[in-house]
Amino acid sequence: MEDILFIYPKLPANIEDGEPLNLMSMAAYLRRQGISVRIHDETAPLNSFEADVRNARYVGITTTTCTYPRVLELKQRIKEINPAAIVMAGGVHATTTPEKTLSDGFDIVVKNEGEKAITRIVRENLCEGIIEEEDVTAEEMYPPARDLINMDYYAATKQRCPYPPALDYVGWKMRLAMSITSRGCPYACIFCHNVWRKSKVRLAPIEYVMTELIELKERYRVDALMFMDDHLFQNRQRSKELFSQMIAAKLGFVWGGTVRVDALDDDVLELARASGCKRLAIGAESGSDEILKRLNKRATVAQNYSAIEKCHRHGIKVLSSVTIGNPGETLDDIKATMRFLLDSKTDYGSVCILVPYPGTELWKQCERDGKIPENPDFSKFHYLKAPIQVSEHIPPAELENIKRRMLIRFYLQPRIIPSMMMKLAHNPKNMFNKIREYF
Ligand code: B12
């Protein structure tokens, strides 16, 4: 019998999946404390749900806002299959709504980071309440326990989801893995989880990151990486050291990551490119400085333009992510955002409808303004729809149309069409189905 079974719930339809980095990271820590762990991943299970649940003392489900409705169904099934199991919820949604989550019928809710809380729960045989312990230190952020999941399934992400622009740098047949080398970010954008986490920034030791990357190469035959850090160049000296070691070890990955636009200097970009960086994503958010201020982005439209130019100078493509439906936003602001997407020569554009997540400053503002309904439909809290009207001027249905029109306009630019044609040629039927599903 395992001490703890983690469950990674299935995502709502049309949301691209990815390996559960958080559960694998916790598992790596817990194993070092002598606690046995298994992961049941509903998307790519290695075992039947019943068998896994029957053999666990504690069952811990990870929650995000859009998976929460599914999490409640799973909790019910676990109670039926193994009434003796102690069922706990943790993760971002449970952390921001702990009392409500407990009252939904969980035995335990863990707030914030799970590693030390679970260690205490298992050692002291705790069976109820809201538990919170200290965050791990950088030296305790061990490489994720990937042996607990079906890595072959996730390595084939590019084959399963060939078209997302975020994966354009990954060859059709390449095996892909995600990695996250840090926790926290010192900035405080009003829509971001880092505002409620209030945790210190921690950067995993380069030695751990290299151990992880070598394992990905040698054991899992991975060719492409997606760094999931909120801001990969947070400490440029450390980034340079990491990229230098990747070059020296001749790992040969192609990779993409996300960075802030004010952290791009020539040295770091040069080493990034030499170590295999093909694409950087930036949170450009808007073409209006007024909106960027309202989002507390602490970056300007001019910096967004210049970041793209710098990346291009180093042969790195850029994915600019913008949000629409921002507080105070008008149609003129959205036009400015469209202009940015076209004029900046960004290689890819992603248009998201701004979603207020519980716990964020944006959520609090929306609550104060009476914009949050009593029982929100959390299954719609992803970036594809507008579950809450944040902008005072533009209703959600119109935002969804605007988003569609922006993407069509962006991807039908003459400079982008050749790459769209290549995707079409790769598998025409699949591509048409994908477009139909989306529109
Ligand atoms: C990697 C990632 C993904 C990956 C994989 C998700 C995963 N589970 O690993 C992919 C690409 C699939 C993804 C998809 C989406 N993501 Co995402 N993703 C992230 C990202 C960048 C890193 C997650 C991570 O590993 N963090 C590091 C770990 C250590 O932190 P953690 O996840 O919070 O886990 C700790 C604690 O929360 C706790 N904990 C977590 N689970 C559990 C379970 C138990 C039982 C216990 C006790 C404790 C516990 O302990 C962990 C270790 O300390 C975060 C942002 C971030 N930096 O965290 C966004 C984030 C989690 N994603 C977010 C969103 C919105 C999405 C999408 C809806 C986007 C979309 N496409 O529309 C989907 C939905 C995914 C889902 N599962 O619901 C939001 C979630 C906000 C919310 N309240 O729901 C975040 C916070 C980013 C943001 N916008 O602010 N995502």
Q: Are residues 355 and 242 in the same domain?
A: yes
How many structural domains does the chain have?
2
The mean pLDDT value for 304-321 works out to 98
In the chain, the N- to C-terminal Cα span, in Å, equals: 47
Q: Are residues 185 and 116 in the same domain?
A: no
Exposed / middle / buried, residue 332 (Cβ in 10 Å: 0-12, 13-18, 19+): exposed
pLDDT score for 431 = 75
Query: Hey, is 76 helix, strand or coil?
Result: helix
Domain that holds residue 373: 156-438
CA distances (Å), origin 210, targets 67, 217, 249, 372 = 32, 10, 9, 44
Q: Does pLDDT of 28 surpass 80?
A: yes
Quick check: is 149 in a domain? no
Q: Does pLDDT of 438 surpass 70?
A: no
Quick check: is 124 in a domain? yes
Q: Are residues 20 and 90 in the same domain?
A: yes
What's the mean per-residue pLDDT of the chain?
Answer: 95
Q: Are residues 166 and 115 in the same domain?
A: no
Q: Does pLDDT of 300 surpass 90?
A: yes
Q: Does pLDDT of 2 surpass 90?
A: no
**What is the per-residue DSSP string for 99-134?**
HHHHHTT-SEEE-S--HHHHHHHHHTT--SEEE--P
Question: What band does 385 get if pLDDT is binned at 50, 70 and 90?
Answer: confident
Domain boundary among 110, 138, 166: 138
CA–CA separation, 229 and 72 (whole Å): 29
Quick check: is 151 in a domain? no
pLDDT score for 161 = 85
Question: What band does 383 get if pLDDT is binned at 50, 70 and 90?
Answer: confident
Ligand 1 atom with the smallest distance to the CA of 26 is 52
CA–CA separation, 19 and 98 (whole Å): 25
Query: Ligand 1 site: residues with CB under 6 angstroms?
Result: 11, 15, 17-18, 20-22, 25-26, 60-62, 64-67, 88, 90-93, 95, 110, 113-115, 117-118, 178, 180, 183, 192-193, 228, 230, 357, 382-383
**Rounded (10°) angle between helices 21-32 and 115-123:** 50
C-beta separation of 274 from 247 below 8 A = yes
Question: What is the three-state SS of 323-364?
Answer: EECCCCCCHHHHHHHHHHHHHCCCCEEEEEECCCCCCCHHHH
Q: Does pLDDT of 39 surpass 80?
A: yes
Nearest to 94 by CA among 122, 69, 118, 62: 62
Q: For position 303, which CATH number holds? A: 3.80.30.20
Domain boundary among 138, 169, 196: 138
Q: Are residues 320 and 433 in the same domain?
A: yes
Work out the angle at residue 334's Cα, subtended by the Cα atoms of residues 333 and 340, and round it to the nearest 5 degrees. Answer: 95
Q: What percent of the chain has pLDDT over 90?
A: 87
* pLDDT tens-digit readout, 214-254: 999 999 999 999 999 999 999 999 999 999 999 999 999 99
Quick check: is 331 in a domain? yes
pLDDT score for 424 = 80
Q: Does pLDDT of 394 surpass 90?
A: yes
Quick check: is 146 in a domain? no
CA–CA separation, 151 and 222 (whole Å): 10
Question: What band does 199 get if pLDDT is binned at 50, 70 and 90?
Answer: confident
Q: Does pLDDT of 14 surpass 90?
A: no
118 CA from centroid of ligand 1 (Å)? 18
Q: Are residues 90 and 204 in the same domain?
A: no
The mean pLDDT value for 372-377 works out to 92
343 CA from centroid of ligand 1 (Å)? 32
pLDDT score for 437 = 63
Query: Hey, is 382 helix, strand or coil?
Result: coil
Q: Exposure string (b/e) for 127-159, b if CB count within 10 Å is 16 or more?
A: eeebbebebbeeebbbbbbbebbbbebbbbbbe
- To the question of pTM greater than 0.75 for the whole model, the response is yes
pLDDT score for 384 = 77
Among protein residues, the one with the nearest Cα to ligand 1's atom 29 is 22
pLDDT score for 198 = 80
Pocket test of ligand 1: the residue of 92, 202, 379 to mutate, having most ligand atoms within 8 Å of its CB, is 92
Domain boundary among 77, 107, 138: 138
Q: Are residues 317 and 355 in the same domain?
A: yes
Q: Are residues 126 and 160 in the same domain?
A: no
**Rounded (10°) angle between helices 331-343 and 301-313:** 20
Ligand 1 atom with the smallest distance to the CA of 352 is 72
What helix, strand, coil percent values describe the chain, rounded to 5? 45, 15, 40
Q: Are residues 95 and 202 in the same domain?
A: no
Among protein residues, the one with the nearest Cα to ligand 1's atom 86 is 193
180 CA from centroid of ligand 1 (Å)? 11
Question: What band does 439 get if pLDDT is binned at 50, 70 and 90?
Answer: low
How many residues in the chain? Answer: 439
23 CA from centroid of ligand 1 (Å)? 10
Quick check: is 359 in a domain? yes
* pLDDT tens-digit readout, 100-116: 999 999 999 999 999 99
Ligand 1 atom with the smallest distance to the CA of 89 is 45
pLDDT score for 436 = 67
**Regarding beta strands 86-90 and 56-62, do their DSSP bridges make them parallel or antiparallel, or are they unpaired?**
parallel
What's the DSSP call for residue 182? E
Q: Are residues 109 and 181 in the same domain?
A: no
Q: Are residues 367 and 285 in the same domain?
A: yes
**Regarding beta strands 202-203 and 182-183, do their DSSP bridges make them parallel or antiparallel, or are they unpaired?**
antiparallel
What's the DSSP call for residue 148? G
Question: What band does 4 get if pLDDT is binned at 50, 70 and 90?
Answer: very high
Q: Are residues 417 and 332 in the same domain?
A: yes
329 CA from centroid of ligand 1 (Å)? 27
The mean pLDDT value for 348-371 works out to 96
* pLDDT tens-digit readout, 146-186: 999 999 999 999 998 888 888 999 999 999 999 999 999 99
What's the DSSP call for residue 11? P
C-beta separation of 61 from 89 below 8 A = yes
CA–CA separation, 107 and 33 (whole Å): 23
Among protein residues, the one with the nearest Cα to ligand 1's atom 71 is 15
Quick check: is 144 in a domain? no
**What is the per-residue DSSP string for 184-234?**
--S---TT-THHHH-PPPEE--HHHHHHHHHHHHHTT---EEEE--S-TTS
Quick check: is 109 in a domain? yes
Q: For position 34, which CATH number holds? A: 3.40.50.280
Strand-pair partners of 61: 7, 89
Instruction: Please indicate whether residue 384 or residue 318 has the higher confidence score (pLDDT).
Output: 318
